[in-house]
Amino acid sequence: MTSQTDFQQIFNTAPQTQASAPGRVNLLGEHTDYNDGFVLPTAIPQHTTVSLGFSPDDRHHFYSAELEEWAHFTNHELVPEGFVSYVLGCIRVLEKIGHTVPPLNLFVTSSVPIGSGLSSSAALEVATLRGLRSLLHLDLDDVQIAKLGQQAEIQYAGVQCGIMDQMAASLADTDHLLFLDTRSLDRKLLPLPSQAEILVIDSGIPRSLATSGYNQRRSECEEAARLLGVPALRDVTDPNIVKNLPEPLNRRARHVINENNRVLQALKSTSAEAFGALMNASHASLQHDYEVSVPGLDRLVELLQKTPHVFGARLTGAGFGGACVALVAAERAESIGQNVLSSYTHTGYKGRILVPDLGMV
Ligand code: GLA
């Protein structure tokens, strides 16, 4: 079967409902969300669509078009890892708050690249929960959907993630930046800096250590907050305070404090140049203080930063591989992307342009 396969073809009946959610790219505010801090993502054009219907028997029947993978199981059987665990995680979190989810026929198709740091998992969770909201007539708003998606990721995918990705998948659009205070969940849609557009390039480096490295960073931040006597690093604004912390907690905390300050600064800077400078500073901080970059990502970012008409560039998402985001002069993203890619020669890795969406994913 190919990704052209649809629900009708494989289940021999039309779906009862369908829902989609986009991937996201984060412009500024990396590794701040689980510190109650500030983030600035936007939705990307690529999205995940989940089609749903009731199963004719006592088993769930899930199919992923891109992975060409089936899963058939009852509620009592163990399920394989992979896309199924995200979907099942969503079902389980709904059950935990008292909803009954009957056996389902479910079909997933997605253009969000997997493993590039563009939140394919949040897109799947939010699309699944939106689909279940519609199928089962659940009274859930978009913020509740995001929170449930985050719980599914934490409890069933093992990533101690913050709320940014699911909030972006649930509430962002491709025309704005979503400024989000991850503590209060206050948010605002903002325009992109004028005369600028977004370029996202995948480094082609798989995010192999992402889960363990991510969870470790999170506990380092929690320990730093505990030593500083604050509920979360969000509650500190002066980076000099980290002098009182041991290595590497001092650098981890410095990244988070400076990164939160950069997001707040970006809200005030109207020019693409000023915004880009903040992105460059963010990358340096992720590279040296937070240590979530890898040499291939540094090379890609460096190439982008020294290309004319690029205002700024940085790794995006959790790091340890995945994609870089750049803010570039309007109408130039594709040509800049092609030029940078031709110089990006990191043995064995093949980069590709993800945004603008050239339809090659
Ligand atoms: C992953 C997590 C998010 C966030 C980013 C880093 O995408 O899912 O919650 O922490 O990493 O900013």
Determine the distance separating the centroid of ligand 1 and the alpha carbon of 29, expressed in angstroms: 10
pLDDT at 107: 98
- Per residue in 180-198, is it b (16+ CB within 10 Å) or e — as a string? bbbbeeebeeeebbeebbb
Q: What is the CA radius of gyration of the chain?
A: 20
| Residue 27 identity | L
Determine the distance separating the centroid of ligand 1 and the alpha carbon of 163, expressed in angstroms: 8
Determine if ligand 1 sits within 6 Å of the CB of residue 125. Answer: no
Reference 199, options 341, 324, 43; nearest CA is: 324
Is the confidence at residue 75, as pLDDT, over 90? no
Determine if ligand 1 sits within 6 Å of the CB of residue 126. Answer: no
Tell me the two tokens of residue 155.
Answer: 């409890």
pLDDT at 186: 98
H helices present in 28-163, as ranges: 83-96, 120-136, 142-157
Determine if ligand 1 sits within 6 Å of the CB of residue 31. Answer: yes
Determine if ligand 1 sits within 6 Å of the CB of residue 33. Answer: yes
Q: What is the pLDDT of residues 96-143, one digit of tens each?
A: 999 999 999 999 999 999 989 999 999 999 999 999 999 999 999 999
pLDDT at 361: 42
Which H or E run contains 107? Answer: strand 104-110
Closest ligand 1 atom, CA of 121?
8
pLDDT at 345: 76
CA distance 167 to 147: 8
Catalytic residue list contains 181 = no
Look up the CATH architecture of domain 3-189.
2-Layer Sandwich (3.30)
Select the CATH number that applies to the domain covering 193-355 from these four: 3.30.70.890, 3.40.50.720, 1.10.3720.10, 1.20.970.10.
3.30.70.890
Q: Which of 28, 33, 255 to mutate to test the pocket of ligand 1 (most atoms within 8 A of CB)?
A: 33
pLDDT at 210: 67
CA distance 71 to 22: 24
Contact 214, 159 (CB under 8 A): yes
Atom 10 in ligand 1: residue holding the nearest Cα? 31
Beta-carbon contacts of 9 under 8 Å, excluding residues fewer than 6 positions away, are: none
pLDDT tier, 360 (very low <50, low <70, confident <90, very high otherwise): low
pLDDT at 178: 98
Could you please report the per-residue DSSP string of 203-228? -----TTHHHHHHHHHHHHHHHHHHH
Contact 288, 32 (CB under 8 A): no
Contact 94, 132 (CB under 8 A): yes
pLDDT at 226: 98
Determine if ligand 1 sits within 6 Å of the CB of residue 34. Answer: yes
Please name the residue that has the structure tokens 């749903």.
52
Atom 2 in ligand 1: residue holding the nearest Cα? 161
pLDDT at 92: 94
CA distance 26 to 315: 9
Share of the chain above pLDDT 70, in %: 97
Determine the distance separating the centroid of ligand 1 and the alpha carbon of 118, expressed in angstroms: 10
pLDDT at 105: 98
pLDDT tier, 314 (very low <50, low <70, confident <90, very high otherwise): very high
pLDDT at 209: 60
Q: What is the pLDDT of residues 233-259, one digit of tens each?
A: 999 999 999 998 999 999 999 999 999
Beta-carbon contacts of 295 under 8 Å, excluding residues fewer than 6 positions away, are: 346
The neighbour count for residue 134, using CB atoms within 10 Å, is 14
Closest ligand 1 atom, CA of 34?
10
Which residue out of 165, 202, 289, 298 is catalytically annotated?
165
| Residue spans per domain, the chain | 3-189, 193-355
Q: What is the pLDDT of residues 258-310, one digit of tens each?
A: 999 999 999 997 799 999 999 999 999 999 999 999 999 999 999 999 999 99
pLDDT mean across residues, the chain: 94
Determine if ligand 1 sits within 6 Å of the CB of residue 162. Answer: yes
pLDDT at 139: 97
pLDDT tier, 347 (very low <50, low <70, confident <90, very high otherwise): low
Determine if ligand 1 sits within 6 Å of the CB of residue 320. Answer: no
CA distance 346 to 325: 18
pLDDT tier, 157 (very low <50, low <70, confident <90, very high otherwise): confident
Average pLDDT over residues 183-189: 98
Q: What is the pLDDT of residues 203-214, one digit of tens each?
A: 999 886 667 899
